[in-house]
Structure 1
Amino acid sequence: MGDWFQRNITDPGKLPTLLALASFVLTFLVTRTVTRLIRAGRGPFRNIAPGGVHIHHVVPGVILTVVGGFGAVGSGRHGVTACVCAVVFGVGAGLVLDEFALILHLDDVYWSEQGRRSVEVVILAAALALLVLSGFSPLDVSSLTPDERENRGSAILTILVNFGFVLIALCKGKLRMALIGTLVPFVALIGALRLARPGSPYARRCYRRRPRARARAELRAHRRDLRWAGPRRRVQDWIGGPADTPAGPDGPGRLPR
């Protein structure tokens, strides 16, 4: 355990990745705290709207991400410059992904049900970064035996097969398993073997003339949603704040932002 920690966490070459992850998570948490205070009308924070135009924080986030990303590419994995660029990139990525749903829907859905997608994406991005920091990599050859390193064909074939499983999982509508499976092959294999989600490209094409398989997929998806919808919603509300209540007979239930 000590050797693994020394090799994967305290390695100086991975310090920029650690700083990027830390700044990414911290930026997201601070941003959500500020936006929740603005929504509740507390504190000194207010929306930035010069000339009547609401400037979302995704705008400076894109700028910081571009600057930090190009700087990180040019500075390598060591040195102060690499660490500074990693922090800039992490801050920018935190601002951008906090408003991922706005980019996806091209609408201000920050506090709506669609806006919960931003919290999911941030959690998934942080998990993937943590896996990379822990030593998981689809192109890493450090875990291969000397014989496997000499046989480049088998190494390339292993990578291609794993990405094949990732593509199948994507076609089956299992986005989370596919993304994690790019780093952990076993997860991609499970996603490729399990039933497809209803409405996914795989289900529309392969279950069209298989009513039994289609019914099993719909039943499994329904049970899964019933089991995890409540806990997932509570986690999202705790991290990102509750979504707007739908409009009722007495008027809209939208809270101010």
Structure 2
Amino acid sequence: MGPAERSVLVAWSTFTTTFTATRAVTHWIRDGHGPASGGITVGGRHFHHYNIGIALLSAVGAVALRGQERHRRHPVTAMAYGAANALIVDELMLLLDLKDVYWAKDGRTSVDAAVGLIGVGGIYLAAAPFWHRAARELASTAVHRPA
């Protein structure tokens, strides 16, 4: 497995882990447990975790644009990318509707989107070596085919 495949695997794994942990923590907080019962507040206003995701994506973008090559495919960069996307996707409907539907039926779309991304990511990662070999095989037979 090369650096690109490793980065994708780390990002996808971190997305899955972060999304699962975020769902668990938000349910735990909503049920009135823990010191942050009701979530994080800043200046008396609820602080949504998609803000953390946006900040992380900004940092990853800065690394992509100005970072050294060894930092671009570093596991920490891939982890930040995966975690950032999970935090944003978890509250996707809030961003799309601009109203807090996190616990409403409409908020289920965010969960469905994340589960879909996790599934598609897993299928891609599981099948990528096969498809890459198949594409190389097709390309080599097309090049060597007599006219």
TM-score class, shorter:
0.7 to 0.9
Query: For 2:136, which of 113, 138, 142 is the aligned residue?
Result: 142
Q: Structure 2 vs 1, CA of residues 82 and 106 (structure 1 numbering), >3 Å: closer, same or farther? A: same
1:44 is aligned with what amino acid?
P
C-alpha separation in 1, matches of 2:19 and 2:143: 40
Give 1:36's aligned residue.
27
What RMSD in Å do the two structures reach over aligned CA positions? 2.8
Deviations 1:233-252 (A, max 9, x none): xxxxxxxxxxxxxxxxxxxx
> 1:84 aligns to what?
76
Structure-2 change in CA distance of 1:144 and 1:34 (3 Å): same
Q: Is the 8 A contact 1:65 1:90 kept in 2?
A: no
How big is the shift at 1:71? Answer: 2.7
SS of residue paired to 2:121: helix
Q: TM-score w.r.t. structure 2 length?
A: 0.79
The 1:149–1:26 alpha-carbon spacing in structure 2 relative to 1, beyond 3 Å, is: farther
1:68-217 aligned within 5 A: 68-72=60-64, 82-134=74-126, 135=128, 141-142=135-136, 144-148=138-142
Contact kept, 8 Å, 2:7 with 2:73, in 1: the verdict is: no
Q: 1:105 to 1:87 in 2, by over 3 A?
A: same
Q: Is the 8 A contact 1:65 1:91 kept in 2?
A: no
Which residue of 2 is the match for residue 202 of structure 1? none
Equivalent-residue separation in structure 1 for 2:28 and 2:2 (angstroms): 38
Question: Could you give the per-residue CA deviations for residues 16-59 of structure 1, whole angstroms, max 9, x where no partner exists?
Answer: 11111111111111111111111110122332222122110000
Larger Rg: 1
Please tell me whether the aligned partners of residues 21 and 126 of structure 1 are also in contact (alpha carbons under 8 angstroms).
Answer: yes
> Aligned partners of 1:81, 1:59: CA distance in 2, in Å?
24
Q: CA deviation at 1:81?
A: 5.2
SS of 2:35's equivalent? coil
Which amino acid in 1 is paired with 2:142? E
**Which of 21, 26, 30 is 2:17 aligned to?**
26
Q: 1-side partners of 2:71 and 2:63: how far apart? A: 12
Identity of paired residues, percent?
32
Look up the SS of the partner of 2:48 in the other structure.
coil
Q: Structure 1-normalised TM-score?
A: 0.48
- Structure 2 unaligned regions, length at least 5: none
**CA–CA distance in 2 between the matches of 1:69 and 1:143?**
35
Structure-1 separation of matches of 2:143 and 2:98: 46
**Residue-pair matches, total:** 139
- 1:44/1:144 Cα in 2 relative to 1: closer, same or farther (>3 Å)? farther
The answer to whether the 8 Å contact 1:98/1:118 transfers is yes
1:80-112 Cα offsets, whole Å, 9 max, x none, are 952110001011011000001111211100000
